[in-house]
């Protein structure tokens, strides 16, 4: 006796069942569009990160392969004063710039929501850092902070607040404050 062909069903694999369920899902198209970007991010982020971690455990130099030395590089790093100075500068820069941007941005937002004359003009001035390209901002702050022809030093001298020019970028303390001020101006709104 022959078995009817409708009763014989091909056995589906686990992969085909998962694929059929996934294709019936509402989110399949979205995941399909995200997959190439996620793959590129995975390749271009994890490979350099993994290579950096591996090189941290070797004595590799440019042009020659490295030999595995364990945590010797990290022991040197933890005992290096320049490393700790850079950590301090990074934390100081990040924390102070973030707090100043938040506080100044909130203050300007509250101020510009008041009924002030020339409110549109002041809003345009506040948004100016976002309109000006970064290169032009860098050139402007270079003129503002120049050691010989600083516009800021000249203005402070004209007002009688200082006696001699300030070297804004030559002194480490002045340089920190100057760079933070430029960053805060660039990121206020």
Q: Could you state, in chain order, the average pLDDT of each consecutive group of 10 residues for the chain (189 residues)?
A: 57 71 70 90 92 90 86 92 95 96 92 86 84 87 87 90 88 90 87
Domain-embedded: residue 94:
yes
How many domains is the chain partitioned into structurally? 2
Q: Say what the pLDDT of residue 85 is.
A: 94
Residues 166 and 121 in one domain: yes
Residues 116 and 69 in one domain: no
Residue with tokens 């320049």: 82
Query: Do the Cβ atoms of 57 and 71 come closer than 8 Å?
Result: yes
Range of the domain at 100: 81-186
Q: Say what the pLDDT of residue 5 is.
A: 56
Residues 49 and 98 in one domain: no
* 3-class secondary structure, 22: helix
Q: Say what the pLDDT of residue 146 is.
A: 87
Residues 60 and 115 in one domain: no
The reported pTM is 0.66
Residues 144 and 69 in one domain: no
């Amino acid at each position: 006796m022959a078995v009817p062909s409708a009763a014989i069903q091909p056995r589906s694999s686990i992969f085909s069942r998962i694929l059929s369920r996934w294709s019936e899902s509402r989110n399949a198209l979205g995941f399909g569009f995200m997959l190439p970007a996620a793959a590129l991010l995975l390749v271009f982020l994890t490979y350099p990160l993994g290579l950096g971690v591996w090189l941290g455990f070797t004595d590799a130099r440019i042009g020659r392969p490295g030999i595995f030395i364990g945590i010797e590089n990290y022991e040197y790093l933890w005992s290096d004063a320049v490393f700790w100075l850079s950590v301090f500068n990074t934390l100081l820069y990040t924390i102070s710039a973030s707090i100043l941007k938040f506080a100044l941005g909130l203050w300007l937002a509250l101020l510009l929501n008041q009924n002030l004359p020339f409110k549109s003009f002041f809003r345009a001035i506040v948004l100016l850092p976002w309109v000006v390209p970064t290169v032009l901002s860098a050139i402007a702050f270079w003129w503002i902070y120049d050691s010989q022809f600083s516009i800021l030093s000249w203005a402070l001298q004209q007002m009688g607040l200082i006696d001699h020019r300030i070297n804004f970028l030559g002194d480490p303390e002045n340089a920190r404050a100057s760079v933070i001020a430029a960053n805060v101006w660039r990121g206020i709104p």
